[in-house]
Homo-oligomer: A and B are copies of this chain.
Amino acid sequence: MVKSKKPEQNLRPLESFDDSKKKLRQIFMNLASDIAESKPPVLRIPVRTASNTVYDEHRQILTLGERMSERRFNDISEVRSFMQTLLLARGIYEALQHDDHPTIRDLYYYTLHTIEGTNIETFNSQDESNNIFQDIEVMTGLLREQMGVVAESRGALVGEIVLQSKGNKIDCSKFGIGAFNIPSLCDQIQIVSVDADYVLVVEKDAIFQRLNDYEFWRRNKCVLITGKGQADRATRRMVRRLNEEWGLPVYVLTDADPFGWYIYSTYRAGSISLSYESFRLACPDAKFLGLTMTDLEKYEVPKDHLIKANEMDIKRAKELLVRDPKTKKPRYPWFYESKRWRQEIHLFLDRRVKAEIEAKSSKGFRFLSDVYLPEKLANKDWII
């Protein structure tokens, strides 16, 4: 399945910040009319706790449940967080109006001050402000990037893919040993064309560089992406877009250990603590390509190449199969309900060993790129 170019007129238009401005403005206007009508002003905010995090079986992602909280100006225990929410929302709105793209920290300092005539600070810490910021995200249903707020980013990509940003066409097959550094606001970039059959997400940057050096992406017609460890938001979003906008299957390559599985899990379904992000950042279609525990036997990884699992590994692995004590529902259904994943995790818990992807180099430096990956893909030997 080779993707052809999309004609320019069919390109997904750049996400505009107008909707975000409108949504924020609407919240301000509602409050203003409440006040004009002498109603006590109230903000309605979805509850962000783990107990209000549910697995959406249809979309196969973690998401927030229906529970809402109210934040009232006329309640002495809520007036401070009410003020903070509006203050920060105003900061975001002002930045949008001037086409500025601050970070959450910029917004914190921008809104931090001593309230006139008092010795009270608008925020006592960045933690407080971060928390309010997340409230604004769920209140508006807009993620930070949709409101033009920049976060740290780490990821890189390379392949037969042409991007467009600020009028520049960026051909990601022409970077030699370099790569495209994915920015935080990656929805401000258009994907102009893709000539690839799939996306290969690589946990480790050094493996990404090595596969890029061999031009693995060219020989195997794929887009190569790395989040350099636990994935940042922009890398996850880019993976999701390639899957959603271009229909490319996504395969994830990590070490054979619970940390690698967790990285895969974040790409696939999102994280429990930030489940409200999943609707844009998770990619339920992502498949785990390896390194699997069964690969260790199949590819005869020598015993001395395996690493003894530590307590944290064991704990993590067990957690993946846990049920919530209250709801009795599995906490990670995409692991729990998959026969193949349960086998994988039990095999790990039996053997209590893990392995790094680099262990493949015992059979030669090109074994990973020339034998293991092509074979796994040809045999559809992945885990869903």
Contacts and interface: CB of A to CB of B under 8 A. Distances in A.
Interface of A: 95, 98, 100-103, 105-110, 112-114, 121, 150-154, 156, 163-170, 174-185, 188-189, 204-207, 209-210, 212-213, 228, 302, 304-305, 356, 358-362, 364-366
Given A103-B358, A110-B361, A361-B106, A168 B164 contact: no
Contacts of A358: 103, 105-106, 108-109
A186 to B, nearest CB: 8
A254 to B, nearest CB: 14
A260 to B, nearest CB: 15
Contacts of A228: 152, 154
Instruction: Tell me if A's interface is mostly helix, strand, loop or mixed.
Output: mixed
Contact of A154 (B98, B107, B174, B205): B205
A337 to B, nearest CB: 34
A328 to B, nearest CB: 42
17 contacts: A95-B365, A98-B365, A102-B365, A107-B361, A150-B213, A152-B228, A154-B205, A154-B228, A166-B176, A169-B174, A170-B176, A175-B180, A176-B188, A178-B180, A178-B189, A183-B212, A184-B206
A177 B145 CA distance: 13
7 nearest A-B residue pairs (beta carbon): A165-B176, A166-B176, A106-B361, A181-B181, A100-B365, A156-B181, A105-B358
Contacts of A188: 176-177
Q: How many copies does the complex hold?
A: 2
Nearest to A171: B168
Contact of A103 (B163, B167, B174, B206): B206
B175 A165 contact: yes
Nearest to A175: B170
Contact of A100 (B106, B180, B366): B366
Nearest to A164: B176
A181 B184 contact: no
Nearest to A182: B178
A220 to B, nearest CB: 18
Contact of A177 (B108, B169, B185): B185
B184 A209 contact: yes
Given A102-B210, A175-B180, A178-B183, A112 B305 contact: yes
B176 A168 contact: yes
